[in-house]
Amino acid sequence: MQSALYVALSAQVALSNRLDTVARNVANMNTAGYRADEVKFAELVSKAGQDKVSFATGGEKYISRQGGGLSKTDNPLDLAVEGNAWFAIRDINGTLSYTRDGRLQIAGDGTLRTLTGQQILGAGGQPIALDPDAGPPLITQSGDVSQGEAGVVGQVGLFLIPEDATLVRSDNSAVIPDKPVTPVQIFDRNGVRQGYVEGANINPVREMTKMIMISRAFESATKMIDTSNESQEKAIRELGSTS
Protein backbone atom coordinates (compact mmCIF):
# COMPACT_ATOMS: atom_id res chain seq x y z
CA MET A 1 0.00 0.00 0.00
CA GLN A 2 2.77 2.42 1.00
CA SER A 3 4.83 1.32 -2.02
CA ALA A 4 2.11 2.48 -4.41
CA LEU A 5 2.04 5.85 -2.67
CA TYR A 6 5.80 6.33 -2.93
CA VAL A 7 5.91 5.17 -6.55
CA ALA A 8 3.20 7.68 -7.45
CA LEU A 9 5.05 10.45 -5.60
CA SER A 10 8.28 9.66 -7.47
CA ALA A 11 6.32 9.80 -10.74
CA GLN A 12 4.92 13.22 -9.81
CA VAL A 13 8.41 14.58 -9.09
CA ALA A 14 9.69 13.29 -12.42
CA LEU A 15 6.68 14.65 -14.31
CA SER A 16 7.01 18.04 -12.60
CA ASN A 17 10.64 18.30 -13.73
CA ARG A 18 9.65 17.30 -17.26
CA LEU A 19 6.89 19.90 -17.30
CA ASP A 20 9.38 22.60 -16.27
CA THR A 21 11.62 21.79 -19.24
CA VAL A 22 8.69 21.77 -21.67
CA ALA A 23 7.49 25.16 -20.37
CA ARG A 24 11.01 26.59 -20.76
CA ASN A 25 11.25 25.23 -24.30
CA VAL A 26 7.91 26.74 -25.29
CA ALA A 27 8.97 30.11 -23.82
CA ASN A 28 12.15 30.07 -25.96
CA MET A 29 10.82 28.64 -29.21
CA ASN A 30 11.43 32.01 -30.95
CA THR A 31 14.90 32.54 -29.44
CA ALA A 32 17.62 32.43 -32.11
CA GLY A 33 20.03 29.53 -31.73
CA TYR A 34 18.34 28.21 -28.59
CA ARG A 35 18.91 24.56 -27.72
CA ALA A 36 16.02 22.73 -26.06
CA ASP A 37 16.13 21.19 -22.60
CA GLU A 38 15.53 17.46 -22.43
CA VAL A 39 15.25 15.10 -19.47
CA LYS A 40 16.74 11.62 -19.17
CA PHE A 41 15.00 9.36 -16.68
CA ALA A 42 16.27 6.25 -14.92
CA GLU A 43 14.66 3.51 -12.85
CA LEU A 44 15.44 2.87 -9.21
CA VAL A 45 14.58 -0.56 -7.88
CA SER A 46 14.15 -1.08 -4.16
CA LYS A 47 13.54 -4.35 -2.34
CA ALA A 48 12.09 -3.37 1.00
CA GLY A 49 10.11 -6.61 1.34
CA GLN A 50 9.55 -9.75 -0.66
CA ASP A 51 8.73 -7.83 -3.84
CA LYS A 52 10.88 -5.38 -5.77
CA VAL A 53 9.46 -1.87 -6.14
CA SER A 54 10.37 0.33 -9.11
CA PHE A 55 10.65 4.09 -8.63
CA ALA A 56 11.29 6.85 -11.17
CA THR A 57 14.23 9.20 -10.61
CA GLY A 58 13.68 12.95 -10.70
CA GLY A 59 15.31 13.03 -14.12
CA GLU A 60 18.67 14.27 -15.39
CA LYS A 61 18.37 17.44 -17.48
CA TYR A 62 20.57 17.95 -20.51
CA ILE A 63 20.73 20.33 -23.48
CA SER A 64 19.76 18.92 -26.87
CA ARG A 65 22.29 19.45 -29.67
CA GLN A 66 19.89 18.94 -32.54
CA GLY A 67 20.09 21.75 -35.10
CA GLY A 68 17.40 24.36 -35.68
CA GLY A 69 15.98 25.58 -38.97
CA LEU A 70 17.70 28.35 -40.95
CA SER A 71 15.88 31.52 -41.98
CA LYS A 72 17.18 33.73 -44.78
CA THR A 73 17.52 37.39 -43.78
CA ASP A 74 20.01 38.72 -46.38
CA ASN A 75 21.56 40.74 -43.56
CA PRO A 76 25.37 40.54 -44.02
CA LEU A 77 25.81 40.59 -40.24
CA ASP A 78 23.58 37.55 -39.72
CA LEU A 79 25.51 34.28 -39.62
CA ALA A 80 24.36 30.70 -39.19
CA VAL A 81 26.36 27.53 -38.62
CA GLU A 82 26.01 24.63 -41.02
CA GLY A 83 26.92 21.43 -39.21
CA ASN A 84 27.58 20.75 -35.54
CA ALA A 85 30.05 23.54 -34.76
CA TRP A 86 29.56 26.60 -32.55
CA PHE A 87 30.63 30.25 -32.53
CA ALA A 88 32.88 31.32 -29.64
CA ILE A 89 31.95 34.51 -27.77
CA ARG A 90 33.52 36.37 -24.84
CA ASP A 91 31.78 38.84 -22.52
CA ILE A 92 33.21 41.89 -20.72
CA ASN A 93 34.19 39.69 -17.77
CA GLY A 94 36.26 37.44 -20.00
CA THR A 95 33.86 34.50 -19.74
CA LEU A 96 34.14 32.27 -22.79
CA SER A 97 31.04 30.50 -24.07
CA TYR A 98 29.69 29.03 -27.31
CA THR A 99 26.53 29.91 -29.21
CA ARG A 100 24.61 29.18 -32.39
CA ASP A 101 23.08 32.66 -32.42
CA GLY A 102 25.07 34.47 -35.11
CA ARG A 103 23.21 37.78 -35.20
CA LEU A 104 26.07 40.27 -35.09
CA GLN A 105 26.83 43.99 -35.04
CA ILE A 106 29.88 46.17 -35.54
CA ALA A 107 30.55 47.90 -32.22
CA GLY A 108 31.84 51.46 -31.87
CA ASP A 109 35.39 50.15 -31.41
CA GLY A 110 35.12 48.21 -34.66
CA THR A 111 34.96 44.74 -33.10
CA LEU A 112 32.42 42.23 -34.31
CA ARG A 113 30.00 41.48 -31.49
CA THR A 114 26.72 39.73 -30.77
CA LEU A 115 23.55 41.78 -30.37
CA THR A 116 24.01 41.52 -26.59
CA GLY A 117 27.58 42.84 -26.69
CA GLN A 118 29.84 39.76 -26.51
CA GLN A 119 32.87 39.65 -28.79
CA ILE A 120 32.75 36.94 -31.43
CA LEU A 121 36.15 35.27 -31.68
CA GLY A 122 38.40 33.94 -34.39
CA ALA A 123 39.85 30.44 -34.56
CA GLY A 124 42.74 31.54 -32.35
CA GLY A 125 40.49 33.12 -29.73
CA GLN A 126 41.13 36.70 -30.87
CA PRO A 127 38.45 39.36 -31.47
CA ILE A 128 37.67 40.40 -35.04
CA ALA A 129 38.19 44.10 -35.83
CA LEU A 130 36.42 45.83 -38.73
CA ASP A 131 36.20 49.39 -40.04
CA PRO A 132 32.75 50.74 -39.07
CA ASP A 133 32.87 53.08 -42.11
CA ALA A 134 34.01 50.54 -44.71
CA GLY A 135 30.62 48.99 -45.36
CA PRO A 136 29.24 45.50 -44.74
CA PRO A 137 31.67 42.58 -44.62
CA LEU A 138 31.73 39.55 -46.86
CA ILE A 139 32.03 36.29 -44.90
CA THR A 140 32.82 33.00 -46.61
CA GLN A 141 31.87 29.44 -45.65
CA SER A 142 35.23 29.04 -43.90
CA GLY A 143 34.58 32.19 -41.86
CA ASP A 144 37.04 34.48 -43.68
CA VAL A 145 35.95 38.09 -43.25
CA SER A 146 36.65 40.58 -46.06
CA GLN A 147 35.76 44.26 -46.08
CA GLY A 148 36.14 46.75 -48.92
CA GLU A 149 39.61 47.08 -50.37
CA ALA A 150 41.25 45.83 -47.17
CA GLY A 151 40.82 42.21 -48.20
CA VAL A 152 40.65 39.51 -45.52
CA VAL A 153 40.68 41.17 -42.10
CA GLY A 154 39.89 38.17 -39.92
CA GLN A 155 38.19 34.80 -39.64
CA VAL A 156 35.11 33.89 -37.64
CA GLY A 157 36.03 30.80 -35.65
CA LEU A 158 33.99 27.61 -35.54
CA PHE A 159 34.50 25.13 -32.73
CA LEU A 160 33.43 21.55 -32.08
CA ILE A 161 32.26 20.59 -28.60
CA PRO A 162 32.97 16.95 -27.61
CA GLU A 163 29.89 14.74 -27.73
CA ASP A 164 30.42 13.61 -24.14
CA ALA A 165 30.78 17.14 -22.76
CA THR A 166 28.19 18.42 -20.30
CA LEU A 167 26.73 21.78 -21.28
CA VAL A 168 25.75 24.55 -18.87
CA ARG A 169 23.61 27.46 -20.05
CA SER A 170 25.04 30.97 -20.36
CA ASP A 171 23.82 34.26 -21.90
CA ASN A 172 22.83 34.76 -25.53
CA SER A 173 21.56 31.18 -26.06
CA ALA A 174 25.12 30.16 -25.26
CA VAL A 175 26.52 27.16 -23.44
CA ILE A 176 29.70 26.45 -21.49
CA PRO A 177 31.11 22.91 -21.92
CA ASP A 178 33.07 21.10 -19.23
CA LYS A 179 35.61 19.82 -21.78
CA PRO A 180 37.98 21.60 -24.21
CA VAL A 181 36.66 22.44 -27.67
CA THR A 182 38.38 21.86 -31.02
CA PRO A 183 38.62 24.55 -33.72
CA VAL A 184 37.25 23.52 -37.11
CA GLN A 185 40.00 23.40 -39.74
CA ILE A 186 38.26 21.52 -42.55
CA PHE A 187 34.97 23.06 -43.69
CA ASP A 188 33.37 20.24 -45.64
CA ARG A 189 30.91 19.33 -42.87
CA ASN A 190 30.88 22.56 -40.87
CA GLY A 191 30.76 26.09 -42.19
CA VAL A 192 29.41 29.62 -41.93
CA ARG A 193 26.40 30.77 -43.90
CA GLN A 194 26.09 34.54 -44.27
CA GLY A 195 22.67 36.17 -44.42
CA TYR A 196 20.93 33.45 -42.41
CA VAL A 197 19.81 33.02 -38.80
CA GLU A 198 19.31 29.70 -37.04
CA GLY A 199 16.13 29.34 -35.02
CA ALA A 200 15.53 27.31 -31.88
CA ASN A 201 15.57 23.52 -32.28
CA ILE A 202 12.09 23.34 -30.77
CA ASN A 203 8.98 21.93 -32.43
CA PRO A 204 6.05 23.85 -30.85
CA VAL A 205 3.46 21.19 -31.77
CA ARG A 206 5.61 18.45 -30.27
CA GLU A 207 6.18 20.42 -27.08
CA MET A 208 2.47 21.18 -26.65
CA THR A 209 1.69 17.49 -27.20
CA LYS A 210 4.25 16.64 -24.50
CA MET A 211 2.61 19.12 -22.15
CA ILE A 212 -0.81 17.49 -22.61
CA MET A 213 0.60 13.99 -22.09
CA ILE A 214 2.52 15.06 -18.97
CA SER A 215 -0.58 16.72 -17.51
CA ARG A 216 -2.62 13.56 -18.03
CA ALA A 217 0.11 11.39 -16.52
CA PHE A 218 0.29 13.74 -13.52
CA GLU A 219 -3.47 13.41 -13.04
CA SER A 220 -3.14 9.60 -13.16
CA ALA A 221 -0.40 9.69 -10.51
CA THR A 222 -2.57 11.95 -8.36
CA LYS A 223 -5.47 9.52 -8.70
CA MET A 224 -3.16 6.68 -7.65
CA ILE A 225 -2.18 8.61 -4.52
CA ASP A 226 -5.84 9.30 -3.69
CA THR A 227 -6.70 5.62 -4.15
CA SER A 228 -3.77 4.58 -1.95
CA ASN A 229 -4.84 7.02 0.77
CA GLU A 230 -8.44 5.81 0.64
CA SER A 231 -7.30 2.18 0.91
CA GLN A 232 -5.08 3.02 3.85
CA GLU A 233 -7.87 4.89 5.65
CA LYS A 234 -10.27 1.99 5.06
CA ALA A 235 -7.77 -0.51 6.45
CA ILE A 236 -7.22 1.66 9.54
CA ARG A 237 -10.95 1.93 10.16
CA GLU A 238 -11.52 -1.82 9.76
CA LEU A 239 -8.55 -2.74 11.92
CA GLY A 240 -9.62 -0.22 14.52
CA SER A 241 -13.16 -1.60 14.70
CA THR A 242 -11.91 -5.17 15.33
CA SER A 243 -9.36 -4.27 17.98
Selected residue with higher pLDDT from 113 and 52: 113
- Say how far apart CA 99 and CA 89 lie, in whole Å: 7
Q: pLDDT at residue 65 above 90?
A: yes
Q: How far is CA 195 from CA 71, 90, 138, 151, 176, in A?
A: 9, 22, 10, 19, 26
Query: b/e for 207-229, b at 16 or more Cβ within 10 A?
Result: beebbeebeebbeebeebbeebe
pLDDT band at 233 (very low <50, low <70, confident <90, very high): low
Q: How far is CA 63 from CA 34, 78, 128, 151, 201, in A?
A: 10, 24, 29, 39, 11
pTM recorded for the entire structure:
0.79
Q: pLDDT at residue 7 above 90?
A: no
Q: pLDDT at residue 29 above 90?
A: yes
Model confidence over 148-162: pLDDT tens digits?
887 899 999 999 999
Q: pLDDT at residue 49 above 60?
A: no
Q: What is the mean pLDDT of the chain?
A: 84
Q: pLDDT at residue 51 above 70?
A: no
> Could you tell me if residue 188 is left (phi over 0), alpha (psi between -120 and 50 degrees) or otherwise beta?
alpha
Q: pLDDT at residue 187 above 50?
A: yes
